[in-house]
Amino acid sequence: MYAIVEIAGQQFKVEKDQKVFVHRLNEERGAKVEFEKVLLIDADGKVKVGVPTVEGAKVLAEVVSHVKGDKVIVFKKRRRKGYRVRNGHRQCFTEILIKDVVA
């Protein structure tokens, strides 16, 4: 059984006991979270597609930790102009554990 759910503006395919990295959530470690924007559910081959969401469906999860992603280097250059800019970025993520998918 899996579901496609919208978390923090992005869509994820999730299953029970799966760990997912999502954009930073404003929840404490160990907090239980509930996502109700379920777009699709597949239960043993029976697919329910929401219009736009599936009625009464939700995904229950627990916040495991808050982490930062790998550093991404942004380098801009204009040739023959002496213009060079180097910048780095590390995205903040929240690791969540999917506890249950309720249809």
Domain count, the chain: 1
Query: The pTM is what?
Result: 0.83
- The pLDDT value recorded for residue 51 is 93
Task: Find the domain containing 30 and state its range.
Answer: 2-102
- The pLDDT value recorded for residue 103 is 84
φ, ψ for residue 26, nearest 5 deg? -90, 60
What is the mean pLDDT for each group of 10 consecutive residues in the chain (103 residues)?
A: 95 97 96 96 92 94 97 98 98 97 91
- The pLDDT value recorded for residue 75 is 98
